[in-house]
Chains A and B, each alone.
Chain A
Amino acid sequence: MSDIADRVRKIVVEHLNVDADKVTEKASFIDDLGADSLDQVELVMAFEEEFSVEIPDDAAESIQKFGDAVSFLEKAVK
């Protein structure tokens, strides 16, 4: 796992209060990790803050799973 993935996982664990081993690549924030739509907005904000990037709303909507967030951020942070 990349450094970015570890940092994303840490944010998800903190915000959603879930066990780290549940945060797998295919884990959906809403279906698997107990988030609601507002939690998801807040998660995206936390990613923006952590990685000093701006995630436009249409891109934010495509981030549904942990793996989506990691792959988006790996590209954005380069």
Chain B
Amino acid sequence: MKLRRVVVTGLGIVSPLGANVETVWKNILDGKSGAKKVDEFDVSDLACQIACRIPLGDSADGKFNPDDWMDVKEQRKVDPFIVYAMAAAGQALQDSGFEAQTDEQKERAGVLIGSGIGGVGGIYDASITLAEKGPRRISPFFIPGRLINLASGYVSIRHGLKGPNHSVVTACSTGAHAIGDAARLIALDDADIMVAGGAESPINRLSLAGFAACRALSTGFNDDPQRASRPYDKDRDGFVMGEGAGTVILEEYEHAKARGAKIYGEVVGYGLSGDAHHITAPAADGNGGYRSMQAAIKRAGMDVSEIDYVNAHGTSTPLGDEIELGAVTRLMGDHAKNVTMSSTKSAVGHLLGAAGAVEAIFSILAMRDNMAPPTINLDNPSVETEIDLVPNKSKAKEINVALSNSFGFGGTNASLVFKKVS
């Protein structure tokens, strides 16, 4: 069976650097950081006291107003990751100009939005209610408002999308897997349009305590949060948690052309692999990431020499950054000196299940504008490398092909390759 071509025709984002695509992208290119000290709840006894928070306010200022996207009554029933997904999906659909009207259009359009940990904040709150007040005080909305696939559920209900309704849960690879799997559903003719991406709302005491216990979070920059996320820098000491959602509209190429849609680029490659090594640590040889990149480039029918830009997983953990850098260097071989690779987690933090989706968006925008976003706070690289890691300042460069990496706990890896459509 011949695979159908899949293109990106819409983008939507809610992130710590703004709540619409152009605001976030400008802040990324300007080298801004979304990190701040957490002051919405007590962090005095936590090892990590910082996070990248979504700025709340008027959408005209690029900030996030949840009421624009979901009725107040509905917002109360769900964890914020679902509200973020509704906002990002609504933006992406608006951007694409697609609206499902006929029965056939509705049945050929689906949703695949994932999350790493879903409604962990609501589960924490309900546990306290259960302990203090008993089971009769647990809301009927407790379960449907926390389930990870309810992001896809709410989006489908709002927009009448009756095609495949699916979700992904692969920790920090979720967003990339969601886009890759959704693209395959279109390629295999199960749908013509998919709303795909990831959403996460992890910033609460329980998640901060849990990730800190895994020794994954930055703990040495509590008084200087904007310098904490510093991938490849010798002073890095863990990631900074972020929150938000990213979604893209994926569409079959002829379908997009027939309705005169704006085409951002084509999803040409998708590769997956497993480390089979350790629950949280990557294998020292970086073999899992190497093979997911290799598989994505093979699927694209390309040579490594065609990769212009890599949006790295690069979380700013002591172990992971150099292992990924090593894998990219080995894979690229002689081409390594021409490769530009940056970690936008330095700016927006680590959005966990949404990371792969927002980083796919940044990869697509890097192609659109021929601009590689910077790795901020990269003052003293911990290793020498031929690869240009774009320290601190964004860089103009012709970018025709971009590769985006996502690696997750459990040893789950995903890589996506996007290409300009001429």
- 8 A-B pairs within 8 Å (CB atoms) are namely A17-B72, A38-B141, A41-B140, A42-B140, A45-B136, A45-B137, A48-B136, A54-B136
Could you tell me if B141 and A16 are in contact, using CB atoms closer than 8 angstroms? no
A-side interface mostly: helix
Apart from A17-B71, A38-B141, A45-B136, what are 8 other A-B pairs with CB-CB below 8 Å?
A: A15-B73, A16-B73, A17-B73, A38-B144, A41-B140, A42-B139, A42-B140, A45-B137
Residues of A close to B144: CB separation below 8 A? 38
Min Cβ gap A41→B in Å is: 4
Per-residue CB contact flags for chain A residues 13-40 toward chain B (1 = under 8 Å, else 0) read 0011100000000000000000000100
Question: Of all chain A residues, which has the CB nearest B139?
Answer: A42
Taking CB atoms and an 8 Å cut-off, the chain A residues in 46-62 that contact chain B are 48-49, 54
Binding site for A on B (CB under 8 A): 71-73, 136-137, 139-141, 144
Q: Closest residue to A18 on the B side, CB-wise?
A: B73
Complex CA distance for A15 and B137, rounded to whole angstroms: 15
8 Å CB contact of B140 from A16, A17, A38, A48: A38
A30 to B: closest C-beta gap in Å: 14
Residue of chain B at shortest CB distance from A41? B140
In the assembled complex, which residues on chain A have CB atoms less than 8 Å from the CB atom of B71?
A: 17
Whole-angstrom distance between the Cβ of A22 and the nearest chain B Cβ = 14
Taking CB atoms, residues of chain A closer than 8 Å to B137 are 45, 49
In the docked arrangement, what's the CA distance between A20 and B73, Å? 15
A13–B136 Cα distance when bound, in Å, is 22
Q: Is the CB of A45 within 8 A of B139?
A: yes
Quote the shortest CB–CB distance from A21 to chain B (angstroms): 18
Min CB distance A59 to B, Å, is 14
- How near does chain B come to A68, taking the closest CB pair, in angstroms? 19
A15 to B74 alpha-carbon distance, docked (Å): 10
Q: Considering the chains assembled together, what is the distance between the CA atoms of A45 and B77 in angstroms?
A: 14
Which residues from chain B contact A54 at a C-beta distance below 8 Å? 136
- For residue B75, which residue of chain A has the nearest CB? A17
Report Cα–Cα, A38/B72, bound state, in Å. 16
A6 CA / B137 CA spacing, docked (Å): 22
Q: Which residues of B contact A16 (CB under 8 A)?
A: 73
CA distance A48 to B73 in the complex (A): 20
* A38 contact set on B, CB distance < 8 A: 140-141, 144
Question: Which of chain B's residues have a CB closer than 8 A to the CB of A41?
Answer: 140
| Residues of B close to A42: CB separation below 8 A | 139-141
The chain A residue with its CB closest to the CB of B143 is A38
Q: Which 10 A-B pairs have the closest CB atoms?
A: A17-B73, A38-B140, A41-B140, A42-B140, A42-B139, A17-B72, A38-B141, A16-B73, A42-B141, A45-B137
Chain B residues, CB < 8 A from A15: 73
Bound Cα distance A42, B139 (Å): 6
With both beta carbons as reference points, the residue of chain A lying nearest to B72 in the complex is identified as A17
Whole-angstrom distance between the Cβ of A53 and the nearest chain B Cβ: 12
Residue in A closest to B74 when the chains form the complex, CB atoms: A17
Smallest distance from the beta carbon of B142 to chain A beta carbons, Å?
10
In the bound assembly, the distance between CA atoms of A51 and B339 in angstroms comes to 67
CB contacts (< 8 Å) of B141 on chain A: these are: 38, 42
Highest count of chain A CB atoms <10 Å: which of B72, B73, B137, B141: B73
A17 to B73, CA, bound (A): 6
When C-beta atoms are compared, the residue in chain A nearest to B73 turns out to be A17
Cα A72 to Cα B79 in complex, Å, equals 33
Contacts of A49 in B (CB 8 A): 137
A48 to B72, CA, bound (A): 23
Docked CA distance A38–B71 (Å) = 16
Distance (whole angstroms) from the CB of A18 to the closest CB of chain B: 9
How near does chain A come to B248, taking the closest CB pair, in angstroms? Answer: 31
A49, B74: Cα distance in complex, Å:
21
CA distance A49 to B139 in the complex (A): 12
For residue B140, which residues in chain A have a CB less than 8 angstroms away from its CB?
38, 41-42
Q: How far is the CA of A54 from the CA of B137 in the complex (A)?
A: 11
